Chain A
Amino acid sequence: MPLVLKDGMNARIDIENHDQQEIKFTTCYMCACRCGIKVTLEDNKVRFIQGNRNHPTNQGVLCAKGSAGIMKQYSTAKLTQPLMRKPGTERGEGIYEPVSWEQALDVLTDRLADIRATDPSKLAFFTGRDQMQALTGLWAQQFGTPNWAAHGGFCSVNMAAAGLYSIGFSFWEFGAPDWDYAKYFILWGVAEDHSSNPIKIGLEKLKRHGGKFVTVNPVRTGYSAIADEWLPIKPGMDGLLAMSMVHVLLQHEKFDYEFLVRYTNASWLVIQSPGQPGDGLFLRDENDHPLIWDISKEIFKNGLDGDISPALFGEYVAPDGRRVKTVMSLMVERYLDPRYAPENVALECGVSAETITRIALEMAHIAFKETVELPIEWTDVWGRKHDKVVGRPVAMYAMRGIAAHSNGFHACRAIHMIQMLLGALDSPGNFRARAPYPKPIPPHQLPENNIDIINAPNTPLSRPPLGFPTRPEDLVIDEFGNPLRIDKAYSWEVPIASHGLMHMVITNATNHDPYGIDTLILFMANMAWNSSMNTANVQDMLRAKDPEFGEYKIPFLVVIDAFHSEMTNFADLILPDTTYLERHDCISLLDRPISEPDSAADAIRYPLLRPERDVRPWQEVMVELASRLKFPAFTKPDGTRKFKDYPDFIVNYERSPGVGFLAGWRGKDGEKSLKGEPNPKQWEKYIENESFFAHHWPDNQKYMRFANKEYLDVAADVGFIGKPEPIIMQFYSEPLQKFRLAGQGLYNGPQPKNPVDRERLVKYFDPLPMWYEPLEQQRVDKEKYPFFALTQRPMFMYHSWDSQNVWLRQILAQNYMYMNARKARDMGLADFDWIWVESHNGKLRCQLKTMEGCQEDTVWTWNAIGKQKGAWGLKDNASEATKGFLLNHLISELLPEKMGERRITNSDPVTGQAAWFDLRVRIWKAEPGEIGSWPQFDALKKLPGDNYERPDVLRFDARTHSKK
């Protein structure tokens, strides 16, 4: 009998019937932030999901998506059984037949075994924002295909790469602002991000402490709404803005001299021999150590050593007679140039000269006059003891507003340049690293590029498919310079594509450029819709057949999804996944960590609910396939399978002795952290401990970790890094210079033949941060297409996958195109007008809304709200499909054609990051009769096994008691 609360005016108030309830802790996966959740179940039904107060990520709070998890669990879009495209029907018609898991796995195993035994590269395996890249990567490596990557290439590899080639950790998920001590915070191009709840928690902390919050963003919504100052920048200009701030800092001589000398390569000497092979490389000693000029001893010394007093400025003559300059001198020469003077960039970037100067000086004031000092003793790698940590409390964070432009890599480097000049990195109050970062710059991991190993049948790769090239020799190309990867990552076109180029896979595979593949496996990515550029065209490519043999250009397409997405509609084989409340998962330190600056952390999920459908976790299926295909890492010497299932794999697999997927409760009886032999009871331990593990760093290991002996020793011991060596931050990036030399024909090693590649290397591989107009914009007529067009994430929707959520879609069921109100008035446009929006790649029709908080030359809309009819368990008349729209139709994955040039990816020329935000459009009012969004697509058909009822009135109630 439910407890009834006695009430003043005797209305009955039912209190929870706790006896019928069960409480379990797991990890949210309504988005990639991975917060800890406390789930209340009432006989196998989800009653309530709330934040876990003890969890390092969300500290008890929960976002809208997280709370809406219930409605995802009861979504009518859930796939129910494995499906095979009906023989005789065409791909894209969406007509399917149920198959048993056994059939499905047999078909797949045979096909994969065949590929693996002949030409492993003919398998391409690409995954979305899963949190198991350590496993999928291992799987691909064991299979022996280089054609694996996760979503990073179309997401934010620019941030990762810029950070990992500059400071050893990065924005995105490898660092976080120190909210506790920050006094000044600049947010560059962020609407929501992965650290969804942490940023919200942090902004409030910052403001409560009286800190100042500045946002740089063409649009003022969400976080930017609560900023103390808004800089409505023109899209794509951040690099310029940042370098102008550097100009001001240098003019005023506001930089942290000690920090530059001790922890960066500002004092390293660069060879000045234009036109000669070694030009622009560091002067090195016989042991290949970079050299500095020691002003006390007046000799060249090893720039990695301690006990040196390097010259920060100056030009010297090397023993071999070559002229050399310090990096700092090169920087001063470049950034003091009037080109970067605030008054000269103000017009271009849309921020006034006064503002640029003031913000730069405000940062300097906080950094140098409002320093935070903590009485924490620590020892640097060179053995010097420090009795305190000094924090420059200027924090920054940046994401896709910077990343999603083709000049984003350099823009992000420019932002790191400010942080380095201010000495505002990994100390109190600024931007701090999250374990397992910082790592050597760049991390010591090279992509597999041995063509013999890659081509060898039934042979694992010797290295992972992805890594961090440092020189042309590291590219993944054949002797003619042709890409070995289907996405052309690590080719001359995009040499430092550290996360691959998922957005190019379908296009390249369809064009058989560089070669054709046999099977494409897509996991957790809606590539037929919102994660592809040029969506309609991509759907055609998926349907495209070889005119001669009548075979599909992409012969076999396997989609692993949990829901009826647009992507599933093109699969030849659909493998239905479980939901996040139904499976084991592990959020590993080997992967995208959930660590916070003060603690190394990882987490798990475990099944809270029994799926009522014939679905299996993809993790399980991967372990199964790996065993069937006898991948060495998954097979015992006697040929039998090594791991019973996924949980067994997670517990017992060791990457290196003592280091496995989960860092907590290792060792025979679970007393060891971070490192230790496998513990058979590890899952139980995690479940006991609310499904997460956090190793809290002692104070002396919390800061300055790039040069903190105590920390680096531990990091090396537990395998975060190879050796406990100083991690010297790189203003000047020698790897970039090596590629540039190759472009100049001055590199003794591989060099590109194609003039296009040479030109790109020379132009864009500047070893110092630079700015250039985004590539697409260099080629479109700005008079004709006057507007920049952007998307933003809504805080309460996750890409395409939340329109199935009947609560969330009430908040946002149709997206509009937003435009500056005055601009709209001048154009004779008003709220709710239907408009045409056209880019060089195509046009679409949508509905307009005006606002004040939008930079005048910019229009924007919410990302991934538009849907294809019939998808996501919605009815065909859902306004997501009839009125909502997808900006992706206007974005091309290829740059506009140019005479005498092959088609080139619309991506950052350094990293291959998809340039979503380089788009320019023109806009005009639709004719009176023209309403509803356009283009429209055929409705997806109901899938076999979809017996969900879709009532006109839904009255969800998890209670089993006191039903009215």
Chain B
Amino acid sequence: MHPALSVIFFTVASGAGFGLFSLLYIADVFSLGGGFNREQLIIGGLMAMALIVMGLLSSTLHLANPKNAWRAFNRFRTSWLSREGVFAVIFMPLALAYLLCIWFDAPAILRIGVGFIVAVLAWITVFSTGMIYACLKTIRQWHTPLVPANYLALGYASGSLLLLLGAVVAKLDTVPYLAMSALIVSVAAVLKAIYYFWIGSPSVTPTINTATGLTRAGVKILDTGHTHGTFLTQEFGFQLARKRAGILRLAVFVVGFGVPGLMLISIFRQPDALWAAAVALFAVMLGAAIERWLFFAEARHVVNLYHGAQRC
């Protein structure tokens, strides 16, 4: 699949935003490491929301006809894309409400209650984003529960490192935050490893024979019927060389999971290592971006069978 930068930015940013917000909630409830003060919570929350809004906005960039974007909520019943939109939109006012609860010291149960709903919504939204891809039978590399799992894990991993940065800045006891990040980042790493293993493993997929129904012998494309590209070749024709994919996968692990890991250790050694927290955050975001790019680049749509691919 052709990797669209707007979509990559969108999923990475909003993922981090939703992750940050839900974890911020946990930090608030259990006032981890001494807990953030009101202003800090508000700022954190707004930052998360900013990330989400930026993401959503950029996602409209890849629409060919944005003036109809508002209609995207129509098909909530069947379309994960629609659902994602709806959840994201419900999320916003509630998230705001939660921040207001904090600001006006609302009764704890209200504050915790609203916060809980918001955290769950955040989770569902990221899950929906993953499902947009996972529900497509046409792309084997996407058609798996591992996809939403990956989206969640990476979103929360980046969120947790954002939060960690905040903890360092706020001079809280970083240990619980380190623990949280360590846990989520390693879960994300493991899930991603499983995913790569899974898409690499052979499995029964459509072939040029089942695509054409010509099963008695080998089938080759003779001519696609158009000399130059079409919408289909532009959108689905993207080919990524094995070797390059390998290098990029390595990058995902080193940059996205390895570097943050090391940084966590140095922060553990030296709790006020602001630079380390910053590096960790930057690395995980970069890693996520690469991962997202690969996610598209490695996806092979079955329509390629009709253009001569032997299997997908």
State if A and B touch, Cβ cutoff 8 Å.
yes
Residues of A participating in the B interface, judged by any CB pair closer than 8 Å: 221, 809-814, 851-853, 879
17 contacts between A and B (CB under 8 A): A221-B222, A809-B227, A810-B226, A810-B227, A810-B228, A811-B225, A811-B226, A811-B227, A812-B227, A813-B227, A813-B228, A814-B227, A851-B222, A852-B220, A853-B222, A879-B227, A879-B228
Chain B residues proximal to chain A, CB less than 8 Å: 220, 222, 225-228
| Closest Cβ–Cβ distance, residue A653 to chain B (whole Å) | 46
A809 to B222, CA, bound (A): 18
Residue of A nearest to B308 (CB): A831
Determine the distance from Cα of A811 to Cα of B228 in the docked complex, in whole angstroms.
8
Q: B222, B225, B226, B228 — which one has the most chain A CB atoms within 10 A of its CB?
A: B222
Given A221-B222, A810-B227, 7 more A-B residue pairs with CB atoms under 8 Å apart are: A809-B227, A811-B225, A811-B226, A812-B227, A814-B227, A851-B222, A879-B227
CA gap between A814 and B228 in the complex, in Å: 9
A550 to chain B: closest CB distance in Å? 45
> Which residues from chain B contact A809 at a C-beta distance below 8 Å?
227
State in angstroms the CA–CA spacing of A221 and B223 once bound together: 11
**Complex-state Cα separation, A221 to B228, whole angstroms:** 21
Q: Complex formed: what's the CA distance from A929 to B308 in Å?
A: 27
Residues of B within 8 A of A812 (CB): 227
CB-CB nearest in chain B for A818: B222
Min CB–CB distance A296 → chain B (angstroms): 59
A444–B67 alpha-carbon span in the complex (Å) = 75
Task: Provide the main secondary structure of the chain A interface.
Answer: loop
Closest A-chain residue to B220, C-beta based?
A: A852
Chain B interface mostly? loop
Residues of chain B lying within 8 A (CB to CB) of residue A810: 226-228
Chain A nearest CB: distance from B220 CB in Å? 7
A853 — which chain B residues lie within 8 A by C-beta?
222
Identify which of B220, B222, B226, B227 gathers the most chain A CB atoms within 10 Å of its CB: B227
**Chain A residue at minimal CB-CB distance from B228:** A813
By Cβ-Cβ distance, the 7 closest A-B pairs, closest first, are: A813-B227, A814-B227, A851-B222, A810-B226, A812-B227, A811-B226, A811-B225
A867 to B91: give the CA distance in the assembly, Å.
60
Q: What residues on B are CB-neighbors of A814 within 8 Å?
A: 227
How far is B220's CA from A814's CA once the two chains are assembled, in angstroms?
Answer: 20
Cα separation A853 to B225 with both chains bound (whole Å): 17
Chain B contacts for A811, CB-based, 8 A? 225-227
CB distance from A111 to the nearest CB of B (A): 44
A526 to chain B, nearest CB (A): 21
Question: Bound complex: CA of A814 vs CA of B222, how far in Å?
Answer: 15
Closest residue of B by beta carbon distance from A880: B227
Question: In the bound complex, what is the Cα–Cα distance between A205 and B220 (angstroms)?
Answer: 28
Bound-state Cα–Cα, A812 to B228, Å: 8
Q: Give the complex CA separation of A879 and B220 in angstroms.
A: 25
Whole-angstrom CA separation of A813 from B223 in the bound complex:
13
Chain A hits for B222, CB < 8 A: 221, 851, 853
User: How many angstroms between the C-alpha atoms of A812 and B220 in the bound complex?
Assistant: 19
CA–CA, A813 and B226, complex, Å: 8
Cα A288 to Cα B225 in complex, Å, equals 60
Closest to A813 in B: B227
Q: Which residue of B lies closest to A796 (CB)?
A: B225
Complex Cα gap A851–B225 (Å): 15
Closest Cβ–Cβ distance, residue A224 to chain B (whole Å): 12
Complex CA–CA separation, A221 to B226 (angstroms): 16
Residue of B nearest to A815 (CB): B227
Distance, CA A960 to CA B226, complexed state (A)? 30
B226 cross-chain contacts in A, Cβ below 8 A: 810-811
Most buried by B among A221, A811, A814, A879: A811
State A853–B223 Cα separation when bound (angstroms): 13
Give, as a whole number of angstroms, the nearest-CB distance from B8 to chain A: 28
Give min CB distance, B232 to chain A, whole Å.
Answer: 13
From residue B305, how far is it (CB to closest CB) to chain A in Å?
Answer: 18
B297 to chain A, nearest CB (A): 22
Shortest C-beta distance, A949 to chain B (Å), equals 22
**B-chain residues with CB within 8 Å of residue A813 when the two chains form the complex:** 227-228
CB of A126 to closest CB in B, whole Å: 33
CB distance from B209 to the nearest CB of A (A): 16
- B306 to chain A minimum Cβ distance, whole angstroms, is 16
Least CB distance, B128 to chain A, in whole angstroms: 25
Q: Hey, which chain A residues are within 8 Å of B220, CB to CB? A: 852
Chain B, Cβ-Cβ closest to A865: B227
Nearest-neighbor residue (CB-CB) of A879 within chain B: B227
Q: In the docked arrangement, what's the CA distance between A362 and B225, Å?
A: 36
- A706 to B222: give the CA distance in the assembly, Å: 45
Give the CA-CA distance A810 to B227 in the complex, in Å. 6
Q: A811 to B227, alpha carbons, bound, how many Å?
A: 6
The answer for the CA separation of A852 and B226 in the assembled complex, in Å, is 20
Q: How far is the CA of A852 from the CA of B225 in the complex (A)?
A: 17
**A809 to chain B: closest CB distance in Å?**
8
Chain A contacts for B228, CB-based, 8 A: 810, 813, 879
- Tell me the minimal C-beta distance from B284 to chain A in angstroms: 41
How far, in Å, is A804 (CB) from chain B's closest CB? 15
In the assembled complex, how far is the CB of residue B214 from the closest CB belonging to chain A, in whole angstroms? 13
Min CB gap A805→B, angstroms: 13
A814's closest neighbor in chain B, by CB?
Answer: B227
Q: How far is the CA of A811 from the CA of B226 in the complex (A)?
A: 4
A879 partner residues in chain B, CB cutoff 8 A: 227-228
Chain B residues within an 8 Å CB radius of A221? 222
Whole-angstrom distance between the alpha carbons of A221 and B225 in the complex? Answer: 13
Q: What is the distance, in angstroms, from B41's C-beta to the closest C-beta of chain A?
A: 47
Distance of A369 Cα from B108 Cα, bound (Å): 100
Once the chains are docked, how many angstroms separate the CA of A456 from the CA of B127?
95
| Complex-state Cα separation, A133 to B228, whole angstroms | 39
Bound CA–CA A814/B227 (angstroms): 6
Interchain CA distance A879-B226 in the complex, whole Å: 13
Cα A345 to Cα B228 in complex, Å, equals 43
| Closest-CB distance, B231 to chain A (whole angstroms) | 12
CB distance from A446 to the nearest CB of B (A): 48
Residues on the A chain within 8 Å of B227, using CB: 809-814, 879
Q: How far is the CB of A683 from chain B (nearest CB, A)?
A: 41
Inter-chain contacts of B225 with A (CB < 8 A): 811
Q: What is the chain B residue whose CB lies nearest that of A821?
A: B220
**A680, B227: Cα distance in complex, Å:** 51
* Shortest Cβ distance from residue B258 to the other chain A in the assembled complex, whole angstroms: 39
A230 to chain B, nearest CB (A): 14
Nearest to B222 among chain A residues (CB) is: A851
Cα A195 to Cα B222 with chains together (Å): 25
Give the shortest distance, in Å, between B79 (CB) and chain A (any CB): 16
Q: Which residue of A lies closest to B225 (CB)?
A: A811
Nearest Cβ on chain B to A879's Cβ, whole angstroms: 7
Cα separation A192 to B4 with both chains bound (whole Å): 44
Minimal beta-carbon separation of B28 from chain A (angstroms): 47
State in angstroms the CA–CA spacing of A810 and B226 once bound together. 6
Min distance, Cβ B250 to any Cβ of chain A, angstroms: 30
B183 to chain A, nearest CB (A): 49
CA distance A811 to B220 in the complex (A): 19
Bound-state CA distance A879–B225 (Å) is 16
Cβ–Cβ < 8 Å partners of A851 in chain B: 222
**In the bound complex, what is the Cα–Cα distance between A115 and B19 (angstroms)?**
93
A363 to chain B, nearest CB (A): 28
In the complex, how many angstroms separate the beta carbon of B14 from the nearest chain A beta carbon? Answer: 32
Min Cβ gap B225→A in Å is 6
Query: Complex Cα distance A689/B312, Å?
Result: 56
In the complex, what's the smallest C-beta–C-beta distance from A234 to chain B, in angstroms? Answer: 22
What's the least CB distance linking B272 to chain A, in Å? 58
CA distance A813 to B229 in the complex (A): 11
Give chain B nearest CB distance to A815 CB in angstroms. Answer: 9
User: In whole angstroms, how far apart are the Cα atoms of A813 and B227 in the complex?
Assistant: 6
CA of A851 to CA of B220 in the docked complex: distance in angstroms? 9
- Least CB distance, B308 to chain A, in whole angstroms: 10
CA–CA, A851 and B226, complex, Å: 17
How far in angstroms is the closest Cβ of chain A from B273?
A: 52
A809 to B225, CA, bound (A): 11
In Å, the complex CA distance between A870 and B182 comes to 65
Cα of A809 to Cα of B227 in the assembled complex, Å? 8
Q: Report the separation of the CA atoms of residues A503 and B226 in the bound assembly, to the nearest whole angstrom.
A: 33
CA distance A852 to B220 in the complex (A): 9
